[in-house]
Structure 1
Amino acid sequence: MRKRRPTDKDHLRESRVFRNRSLLAAALILLMAGGLVGRLFYLQVVKHDVFTTRSDNNRMRVEPLPPRRGLIYDRNGKLLAENRPTYNLTIVRERVDDLDETLERLVQILGLPEDEVATFKERSRQRQRPYQPALLMSDLTQDQIARLAVNRYLLSGVEVEAQLVRYYPDPIVMSHVLGYVGRINADELADLDPGNYAGTHFIGKTGVEYTYEGQLHGKAGLRKVETNARGRVLRELDRQPPVPGKDVTLTIDSRLQHMAYNLLDGRRGAIVAIQPKTGDILAMVSAPGFDINKFVTGISYDDYQGLQQDPDLPLYNRAARGQYPPGSTVKPFEALASLQNGVVKPNDIIYDPGYFKLPNDDRRYHNWLRWGHGRVDLERALEVSNNTYFYTMAYRLGIDRLSSFMHEFGFGEVTSLDVQGASAGLMPSREWKREKYNQAWFPGETLSAGIGQGYFMATPLQLAAATATLANHGHWVRPHLAEDIGEEAVKPPFADTKPDVKVDQDRWWQDVFKGMEAVISGPEGTARKAGVGLQYDMAAKTGTAQVFSLGQNQKYDADELEERLRDHALFIGFAPVEDPQIAIAMIVENAGGGISELGRELTDAWVLHDGKLDDTLPTTINEEVESLDGD
């Protein structure tokens, strides 16, 4: 038998090997095909809803539509807060590939100065809800918008969007009344309704803007848009329009507000005017003011530091938060307390030798007129602002009865309806001192409280509210700033209004009013210069508040003191007496006295023009006023 050579082919073996390999290849192909079919089934059938949703999310997205913020008007329809169109730069962090690189590129494109770069980058990292735009810059210039448009392909997740931004036509005069809106911070974001504030970058921070934020803001809307692979909007698919915020009409008369601000003539102080019957706050001025427009889009560090370090404290709302010793302006209320508690009768005479002494105490509590006013009854005590008379009344009343009656007029309490940040002041009592200092109350402290000094503190808003209540014969109407919210009127009676002040005999109101009328029209009145040519009956009271205490034998001499150490000057009044249309309270810091003419001028403007002011009214001081208030 012939042996097979190595070079001979074994066709049978090769055929078998080929068949086996083919079967293995076929099996692998079938297995892979099965895997592909299975995966395709899993993706197309099992996970159909999931991937359809993901696809739609990549192709379509829902964007919030911020509402238009409501406008603010004065009582005559003058626009006080409006919205102006502007362009904002926003970024959605989740749509940015490299945040640091994108921010560096934006800094270069926008040409930001070095001192703004850190703030710019910090805004991009502020707490924000997922896929919600963070505000980087507001009020872009046309040049900045053009440069961003050219480089748009490099800036994924970055958008330039048109929005309405708050603007205040009278930013300084109205600063403390209106307040301002500003960027939403992280703390505010945590407390806000995420749906209603989606897409909103600004919120009311102070004043009316803060108090009526819920009404002014409105309700956010939505729109569904189709986008390309880079997230750019191609078309709008659906829209749920936003509900605009309600417009708010204030009780403020902007002309009276301007006049009051100008009457202060650059001095530190506050003026509040209230309509007694309605509680409408006609003017509420704190001077100096500040430019609230700078706070809307973000005030610069230097500007903010300048405001904070200003010794005149322009950011401080003196009208609602400023707590001052009310001085002799509390004497009409104390007179009424004395009558009601039976410690004096209107015609009772007290002899004033120029001082008052407590029993078994050699210390003298001086009248402002060192040689005294002699025989004084209630009317003359108010007319000449006699301290000795009211030391006597305070001593007879005692601090507990005095404090209780003063609380009835709102001292030591917040009585306003909607004035944001209003202070309660301080009406001291025996109990208060024990809780505060764990000390007993001393009789001399009662005397100080009796002339509005010592621990006694009140705000100009409180003084105006108490004066309006006095003008109403004790009827309380809460002072308020809003007149209409949308179509709804804001009118008394208001919830939580204090009970009316009751006295046993109605004629006591007139007894106090006579003394207050004599202040401005009597021959010895401390505001008699302001009463020259008066065309209506006006009740008033002047006062001074000490900045520092004098020693037992020291005499106050304003000329020898630095300006900021001089007494504050105060004035309250209402007119006409029989049908009060306006009640005012004012303070000018370190003026010493002589502000009664300012009160007269403001009251003239309202009473003689029946509340309808026009451009012909005086709004500046034409000459220096002379102090006639001695206390």
Structure 2
Amino acid sequence: MKAKHRTKRIQRYRKMLGIIVLMLTITLIGVVVSATVLYKRKNACKTPDTTLVEYMMHIPKQEYEEMYAMIDLESSGYISKEDFLKRNSTIYEGIEMQNMSIKNVEYVEEDKKVTYLTSFDTVAGTISFENEAFFINGEEGYKLVWDDSMIFPNLTSADKVRVSTTQAERGEILDRNGRVLAGKGTASSVGIVPGKLENREEAIAQIAGLLEITTEVIEKNLSAKWVKDDSFVPIKTIPRVEEIELMSISPEEEVLKEKERHDKLLEIPGVMISDVEVREYPLGEAAAHLVGYVQSVTAEDLEEHAGEGYTANSVIGRSGMEGLFEKELKGQNGCRIYIVNSEDKEKEELACILVQHGQDIRLTIDTDLQVSLYEQFKEDKSCSVAINHYTGEVLALVSTPAYDNNDFIMGLSSEQWTVLNEDENKPMYNRFRQVWCPGSTFKPIIAAIGLQSGAIDPMEDYGNVGLSWQKDASWGSYHVTTLHAYEPVILEKALIYSDNIYFAKAALKIGSDELENSLIRLGFNEELPFEIKMAESQYSNTEGIETEIQLADSGYGQGQILVNPLHMACIYSAFCNEGNVIKPYLVYQNEAEAEYWIPGAFSNETASRVLEGTKKVVNDSNGTGYAAHRDDILLAGKTGTAEIKASKDDTSGTELGWFAIFTAEDTECPILIISMVEDVKGRGGSGYVVKKDSLVLEEWFSSH
């Protein structure tokens, strides 16, 4: 009996469940039907012109699947979704289409067509054209009749759209006489034809050893998608061996080594070497810090400089003039977008930007002087600047030791890069951009400030106090020392003998406020107005000169005085320019005209008196710069030796040797050189620098 009742309950449950399922099914069908009706009504409300605009607006968003859903397959030749997506994406993305606009959209009802004007930007400029689109009105509303002419009016399915780029030639960097500092050169491109390799693993290891790279680098290049068995795959650029160099009576060892490497590479089946155009720096180390170098662009460069015309084949300036004038030097690549037919013959040009080759940059630099200074100081940690102190033309900027910027063109290995950066002499360090303790080369500047402010009477005798002096007992054990005793102790003789005590006393007479204000007027704590950014000269590590001892030490270029060599050269120019401080410049001008950075820095009287003193430094037999004296040309200058040590009692410190030397009268070849050499202690101090600059001047005057 119980089983009978249970069976009936189950039957009732099943009946109820069936009714519920039926009702849900009816409801779901109703929803689907309603949605379909709504969809059809929605699409029925669309007109061909609005449908076209919707289709076109999908293109910039790369919504190719949405575009495909809007076409009528039957009237569009049943193009597959895969082919449609590939055709549209390849063309639109290949030409780098962006900023699309649709205008003048009109629907011609009797023809079921829409006419419109479209334009968009591409890698080769703006493309604009009139076009027409046809529509079919079906159950789902208007559908587009698609063929390739929707992309470009004259494009057929057999045609292809090509993009060709003409690489802009990089401008040259020239010296004042048109000699090349950076320009076209030829190197050897070592490559591999994969299909010709024998014993692949062994061959790659051998090639890697000869090129001083890893096997991983080679394998990565060979595994690129474009590589085929008969492809020439560039691996590394190396110096080209010039036949004329090999034919000389005694070829350089480096040339012979390079020839031997070429020969060994060519013995390996599958290796080929071809000439390739590269950037070349004829002066190498002599101008590396000035000229800088270029390198191939990276993915980061392309992202950072998007829209500036760089491609994967471009180079970009990394330092020096190459970096500073990158925009002018690089030029603008040319680019064409055109249609070719099935026979690869050009059918129509769509857009074209003509190539604009980079500008040449001509500098005021004199190559012979640049090389001369480098050769004299190449074994030292040093820097030299040379200017025409009447015009402001910068004639040389040298930092030693240096590196060969050509090495960056060939590609530095990680080991070479490490060696360069870990060298204790810092060959990558640009010394002429830095500030240094000037020592006694600062004394003419103190003399000019003292005279200008009235704090110094040039004829006042400070008295001979011996070789050691302190103001009073408040200085404790601190004394200012000097090397020479002489009489009378007046300004001119103090310059001749480079008297620290005299200029310490002069600084105390000037006072810290006047000295600070005067140095600020002379460009301290201010950026030098020059194409290359230089470190700012300073008179204190803090806000000002804080003690009497610091003030006294500042008087002879110690204390916390730090000066950039080019800045100092500009201040020195005032002594020959009636007190006006010249503005330096590096880009050559056909008509060199003086522009003053600080006009009226000193009076003509002050400038003349300091000039007379600096003349005596070089021409008086007691002068510290007398070794540079010449009988044919009147020179003036000042020596300096700056002590760099942790404390007054430190005996392990080093010394910087300085020499400032310049023509002191009208001459056809005016020049002012300032050189600084580190670690001259025990090597003759400033005398070491005087000797080398004298040799440079000998070459300068004999060639002009």
User: Do Structure 1 and Structure 2 share a fold, with TM-score over 0.5?
Assistant: yes
Choose which of 74, 84, 89 in structure 1 pairs with 2:185: 84
Match of 1:59 in 2: 160
Cα deviation code 1:401-459 (max 9, x no counterpart): 2132233333443324212x4222323276257xxxxxxx1221112221111221122
What is the Cα deviation at residue 170 of structure 1? 1.6
Q: How many angstroms does 1:569 deviate by?
A: 0.8
Give the counterpart letter for 2:588 in structure 1.
Answer: E
From the CA coordinates, give the structure whose radius of gyration is larger.
Answer: 2
User: Given the superposition, is the C-alpha separation of residues 222 and 145 from structure 1 closer, same or farther in structure 2, using an over 3 Å criterion?
Assistant: farther
User: 2: CA distance between counterparts of 1:262 and 1:48?
Assistant: 70
2:657 paired residue number? 569
Q: Which residue of 2 aligns with 1:449?
A: 554
- CA offsets per residue over residues 593-616 of structure 1, 9 Å max, x none? 21223333333443x44xx45xxx
CA offset at residue 525 of structure 1? 0.8
Partner of 2:488: helix, strand, or coil? strand
- The answer for the alignment partner of 1:244 in structure 2 is 357
Residue of structure 2 in register with 1:514 after alignment: 612
In structure 2, C-alpha distance between the alignment counterparts of 1:39 and 1:514, rounded to whole Å: 94
Which one is further off, 591-600 or 575-584? 575-584
Shift of 1:203: 0.7
Task: Pick from 564, 569, 572 the counterpart of residue 464 of structure 1.
Answer: 569
Aligned-partner SS, 1:242: coil
1:219 aligns with 2:332: yes
Matched, 1:264 2:377: yes
Unaligned stretches of 5+ residues in structure 1: 1-34, 91-103, 127-134, 150-159, 434-440, 614-631
The equivalent of 1:48 in structure 2 is 147
Q: Give 2:480's match in structure 1, choosing from 363, 366, 373.
A: 366
Contact 1:520 1:528 in 2 (8 A): yes
Quickly say closer, same or farther: Cα 1:110–1:392, change in 2 above 3 A.
same
| Post-superposition CA distance 1:148-183 (Å, at most 9, x none) | 99xxxxxxxxxx999742011121111111111112
**Contact conserved, 1:355 with 1:372, CA < 8 A, in 2?**
no
| Amino acid in structure 2 at the alignment position of 1:499 | I
Label 1:66 to 1:509 Cα distance change in 2 as closer, same or farther (>3 A). Answer: same
1:208 aligned onto 2:313 = no
> How many angstroms does 1:542 deviate by?
0.4
State which of 551, 555, 558 in structure 1 corresponds to 2:648. 551
Return the alpha-carbon distance in structure 2 between the equivalents of residues 293 and 481 of structure 1.
23
Q: 1:423 aligns with which of 535, 539, 549?
A: 535
Q: Name the counterpart of 2:693.
A: 599
1:235, 1:78 → 2: CA distance?
43
Structure 1 pair 195/446, CA: closer, same or farther in 2 (3 Å)? closer
**Greater relative contact order (CA < 8 Å, ≥ 6 in sequence):** 1
Match of 1:348 among 460, 468, 471: 460
Cα displacement string for residues 297-339 of structure 1 (whole angstroms, at most 9, x for unaligned residues)? 4211111111111111111111223x22000001001001011
Q: Deviations over 1:247-296 (max 9, x none)?
A: 11211111111111122252221211100122111111111111101112
> Is the CA contact (8 Å cut-off) linking 2:522 and 2:571 kept in structure 1?
yes
Matched with 1:542 is 639
TM-score w.r.t. length of structure 2: 0.65
- 1:267–1:288 CA contact under 8 A, matched in 2: yes
SS in 1 for 2:408: helix
Work out the CA distance in 1 between the residues paired with 2:157 and 2:509.
Answer: 83
CA apart distance, 1:225 = 6.6
1:227 is displaced (CA, Å) by 8.3
Aligned residues of 1:110 and 1:147 also touching (Cα < 8 A): no
Deviation at 1:112, TM superposition (A): 4.4
User: Residue 223 of structure 1 contacts residue 237 of structure 1 at CA under 8 Å; is this kept in 2?
Assistant: no
Question: Residues 609-620 of structure 1: matches in 2 within 5 Å?
Answer: 609=702, 612-613=703-704
Residues 1:327 and 2:424 are matched in the alignment: no
Unaligned runs of 5+ in 2: 1-71, 85-133, 135-143, 192-199, 225-232, 239-261
Q: Take 1:522 and 1:57, find their aligned partners in 2: how far apart are those partners?
A: 90
**CA 1:491–1:119 in 2, change beyond 3 Å: closer, same or farther?**
farther
Three-state SS of the structure 2 residue aligned to 1:376 is coil
CA distance in 1 between partners of 2:403 and 2:637 (Å): 31
Contact 1:249 1:482 in 2 (8 A): yes
Find the aligned partners of 2:388 and 2:157 in 1 and give their Cα distance. 60
Secondary structure in 1 aligned to 2:463? strand
Q: Measure the CA separation in 2 of the matches of 1:405 and 1:118.
A: 61
Separation in 2 of the partners of 1:121 and 1:530?
Answer: 60
Give runs of aligned pairs for residues 88-487 of structure 1, distance below 5 A. 112=208, 115-118=213-216, 137=235, 139=237, 147=270, 164-198=277-311, 200-224=313-337, 240-264=353-377, 266-321=379-434, 323-353=435-465, 354-361=467-474, 362-369=476-483, 372-419=485-532, 421-428=533-540, 431-432=543-544, 441-483=546-588
Q: Secondary structure at the match of 1:602?
A: helix
* 8 Å contact kept, 1:468–1:574: no
How many angstroms does 1:347 deviate by?
A: 0.6
Q: Please tell me whether the aligned partners of residues 75 and 145 of structure 2 are also in contact (alpha carbons under 8 angstroms).
A: no
| Counterpart contact for 2:456–2:510, Cα < 8 Å | no
Partners in 1 of 2:277 and 2:344 — Cα distance?
Answer: 21
In the TM superposition, what is the alpha-carbon distance from 1:73 to its structure 2 partner? 1.7
Supply the distance in 2 between the matched residues of 1:57 and 1:200 (Cα, whole angstroms): 30
Query: Structure 1 length normalisation: TM-score?
Result: 0.72
8 Å CA contact 2:433–2:535 kept in 1: the answer is: yes
Distance 1:124 1:184 in 2: 20
SS at match of 2:693: helix
Using the alignment, how far apart are the partners of 2:440 and 2:492 within structure 1? 14
Q: CA deviation at 1:546?
A: 1.1
* Residue 46 of structure 1, CA deviation: 1.9
After superposition, the C-alpha distances for 1:33-70 in whole angstroms (9 at most, x for unaligned) are: xx974553888962224775697798332133220001
Q: Pairwise CA RMSD of aligned residues? A: 4.0
Shift in Å at residue 75 of structure 1?
1.4
CA 1:116 to 1:508, structure 2 compared with 1: closer, same or farther past 3 Å?
same
Counterpart of 2:147, as a letter, is H
Could you tell me which residue of structure 2 aligns to residue 130 of structure 1?
none
Match of 1:500 among 589, 596, 599: 599
Name the aligned partner's letter for residue 167 of structure 2.
Answer: P
